[in-house]
Amino acid sequence: MKIKILPSLLAADFGRLESESKKAEVSGADELHLDIMDGHFVPNISFGADVVSMARKAVRIPLNVHLMLSRPDKYIDRFAKAGSDTILIHIESECDVTATLESIRQLGVRPGITMNPDTDPARLFPVLDKVGIILCMTVFPGYGGQKFIETVVPSMRAVRNKANEMNLADLDIMVDGGIDLNTCEVCAKNGVNCFVAGSSLYRAADMRNDISLMREKCERALII
Ligand code: DX5
Ligand code: ZN
């Protein structure tokens, strides 16, 4: 299964978002991760669909859009139009999750579901066959630069084992929060193949080098 590394634009210099997006692409990123926060579902506000449109013009790699919104169902149209390739919503959000995932698919975008660190992974099982990607948050969403929460590791394994049992061989499982060259390894060992990294990659002296090191480590550690 392919390892994918996704720099998170939240950790970029907001005065230069276009060149920071391009930096991820030329450094070998598989996709660009964009964090959308509404100040209600999470205690912070980031940026909106216009930044997704900017990134769409700036890079050719897929845009992986993480909606931290209480009512993602009200906004998927505009994030689809802005050029998202994947739209992730939270299982904890206040909408009909199954219907919203279906609407995302109907807009021609790959749907994904996200769980917070303290959410029971079994809550995701009913929608595993309705998404292309699962995101296990390894920090409580809202801010970059937080510490990786190790107790989420069994949830990653539970989701991958369930996907295996359901013959969902192509299901991507992603982690987000506190991911660096050390924490990525235990995730790969527990079935994770997609890695979002904000601070660790945008603060790296050489992003290209760190993306390639992270990819090698994860390829070696991966156990599906
Ligand atoms: C957190 C966001 C993350 C964030 C990760 O709410 O979902 O994508 O950018 O940042 P780091 O990698 O710095 O923990
Ligand atoms: Zn995110």
Note the pLDDT of residue 162: 98
Task: Give the list of residues 6+ apart from residue 190 with CB closer than 8 angstroms, or none.
Answer: 153, 154, 156, 157, 160, 223
Q: Tell me how far apart the alpha carbons of residues 134 and 172 are, in angstroms, rounded to a whole number.
A: 6
Note the pLDDT of residue 194: 99
What separation in Å is there between the alpha carbon of 139 and the centre of ligand 1?
A: 8
Q: Which residues of the chain have pLDDT under 70?
A: none
pLDDT digits (tens, 9 = 90+) for 181-211: 999 999 999 999 999 999 999 999 999 999 9
Write down the pTM of the prediction: 0.98
pLDDT digits (tens, 9 = 90+) for 29-60: 999 999 999 999 999 999 999 999 999 999 99
Residue 94: both structure tokens together: 């206040």
Instruction: Provide the residues around ligand 2 (an ion) whose CB is within 5 A.
Output: 35, 66, 176
Residue 60: both structure tokens together: 């050719």
Domains delineated in the chain: 4-221 (3.20.20.70)
